[in-house]
Amino acid sequence: MAKTKVSYFCQSCGFEAPKWLGKCPSCSQWNTFVEEIVERANPSVPDWKPQSTSLQRANKAVPIDKIEFDEEHRILTPDKEFNRVLGGGIVAGSLVLIGGEPGIGKSTLMLQLSLNMPGLRVLYVSGEESDRQIKMRAERLAPQPPEGGAGSQATPPLGGGGAGGDCYILTETSTQNIFKQIEQLQPELVVIDSIQTLHSAHIESTPGSVSQVRECTAELLRFAKESGTPVFLIGHITKDGMIAGPKILEHMVDTVLQFEGDRHHVYRILRAVKNRFGSASELGIYEMLGAGLREVSNPSEILLSQREEQLSGITISATLEGMRPMMIETQALVSTSAYGTPQRSATGFDTRRMNMLLAVLEKRCGFKLGAKDVFLNITGGIRVEDPAIDLGLAAAIISSHEDIPIPFKTCFAGELGLSGEIRAVNRVEQRIAEAQKLGFEQIFISKYNLPTGGNDKKRIDLSRYEIAVKTVGSIEEVFTLLFG
C-alpha cells in the first residue's frame, strides 16, 4: 500500500510546501503553515462522473472560428436585483460564490431564492443546519408550504404551493453522498451552504482546510461544467473580510458576490466582485424584514432622508453603481478642534480622498480648515467610490463650515480636480434624468460635459429636461452661485 502524502499549506494564500516554513514565500505571512494529509492511497468512494458518454470525449484544439456558439440563455429569477447583479440572470453551468459577514443573511437569501424558482427543481444542501431548522426558516419565508411528510434524506418540496418551484433539502457534508443524491434527483439548480463544511473522501484533512476547500470546489466545478447545472456556493469570510480558504477559490468560480451591510440596520447590499458573464460593478439593495429579504427597486428613496427643515452640511449627490443611477445624501460636519490634532473621519468614503478635497478647498478657495475637525458620512450604510460625489461633498463641507444650508431640491454631479476645476463625469444624462424623476429643481454639473465645436454626437440636449442644469467650471463658481 502506498504511503500517505503529507504537505504543508499556507492558510492565507494556499501555497504548498514539502516542509514547515515560518514565513510564507508567496504572501510573506508568518506562522500560517499547517500540516495536512492531501492524498489517500486507495480512495474507495468514486468522484462525480458525467452521465452522458458524449461528455467524456477527448478534448482537442480547434480553430476559434470553428467553435459553434449559441446565444446564452439565462435563467431569470423572480428577484430583479439578483438578476441585475448576475448580469441578466443565472448562466447554465456557472459556479457562483457568495460571501459575507456571519448573520448578514446569506442563507436567507439563497433559501428564499430556492423556494421561489418557478418550474425548477432545486437542491438546497446544508452542512450547518438540520432539516427541521431549515423547515422552520422556510415557514417564515413562505407562510403557505404544501402538506407532506418528511423523506429519508431529501425532504419533499418546501414552499411549492405559493412559491412555484420544487425545493429539496439535503443535510449532508460528504461530497460523494451529495453527488449520489444529485444523480437520483437530477436537480436543475444546486445550492451549497457552505463550502467550508464539505469534505471529500479523497483528502484526509478537516473540513474548511485549504486542501478540502480546494478539492470540494474542484469537484463541484467539474459537475457544473459537465452537467450544465448552475451551482451556488455560500462561503465564510475571515476577520479581515476576505473569503475564507485559499485565494484560488475565487479564481476557480465564475462569479464572486459579496453580501454587505450592518446587522443592526435593515438594508443589505449584494455586490459583484467578479463576474465572467456581466459587469462587476453592479449592486442590488435589499431590506431585511421578518418574512425575509425584500428587493428595493428604487434605492434613492431609502438613501434620502425626509427632513422638513433645512440643515447645513447636507447635500444630495448623483452617483452611479454599474448601470444604475442613484441619488445619495452626503453629510459633513466641520467644528473647531478641541485638541491639538484635528480629527478626520469618513464613513462610506475614502479618507485619503477627503483629505485631498480639504487641501483643495484650503489652497484654492481660502477656507481655513487646517484646525477644524471634519467628519463625513454617506447615509444608508453604503460605500461610494464614484468621483462624481466630490462636488457634493465639497459643498457640504463649506455649508457646515459657514453654517449656511444648501437650498432644497439641489443636487450635484462633478469631480473636483487638484487645481479647483470641476471635471466632467461619465453618463451625466442618466444622472440628470434620475434627479428630474425624483423631483429636484436644479443640478450642478461640469461645463466640460457640454462639448463645444463641431462634435454634435456628444452634445447634450438640455432643452428636453425640466430640471435646471447649472454648468460650472471651477469650485469658486459653485460657491458664488450657492452662497453669494
Q: What is the pLDDT of residues 239-266, one digit of tens each?
A: 777 787 778 888 899 999 999 876 667 7
Is the Cβ–Cβ distance between 186 and 121 less than 8 Å?
yes
Burial status of residue 233 (CB atoms within 10 A of its CB: 0-12, 13-18, 19 or more): buried
Cα 366 to chain centroid distance, Å, stands at 40
The model's confidence at residue 69, banded by pLDDT at 50, 70 and 90, is confident
Write the pLDDT tens digit of every residue in 224-242: 998 999 999 999 888 777 7
* 106 has binding-site annotation: yes
Query: What residues have CB less than 8 Å from 61, skipping those under 6 apart?
Result: none
Task: Please give the pLDDT value at position 313.
Answer: 92
- State mean pLDDT over 150-173: 61
Q: Is 107 assigned a ligand-binding role in the annotation?
A: yes
pLDDT: which is higher, 59 or 208? 208
Does 104 count as an annotated binding residue? Answer: yes
Tell me whether residue 230 is annotated as binding.
no
Q: Is 105 annotated as a binding residue?
A: yes
| Percent of the chain topping pLDDT 70 | 85
* Domain boundaries 74-297, CATH class: alpha beta
Per-residue exposure over 205-216, b if at least 16 CB sit within 10 Å of its own CB, e if not: bebbbbbbbbbb
- Total-model pTM: 0.72
Q: Is 370 annotated as a binding residue?
A: no
User: What does the pLDDT look like over 407-459, one tens digit per residue?
Assistant: 888 999 999 999 999 999 988 998 998 898 888 999 999 998 876 544 444 56
Q: Is 458 annotated as a binding residue?
A: no
pLDDT at 54: 40
Please check whether the domain covering 302-452+460-483 is classified as CATH 3.30.230.10.
Answer: yes
pLDDT tens per residue across span 93-125: 999 999 988 888 899 999 999 998 878 899 999
Summarize pLDDT for 122-145 with one digit per residue, the tens.
Answer: 999 999 999 899 999 888 885 443
Domain residue extents for the chain: 5-39, 74-297, 302-452+460-483
Percentage of the chain exceeding pLDDT 90: 39
Q: What pLDDT is stored for residue 49 in this prediction?
A: 57
Which residue, chain included where needed, has cell 448580469?
87
- Tell me if 91 sits within 8 A of 85, measured CB to CB: no
pLDDT value at 396 more than 90: yes
In the predicted structure, residue 43 carries a pLDDT above the cut 80: no
Whole-number pLDDT of residue 181: 92
Q: Is 305 annotated as a binding residue?
A: no
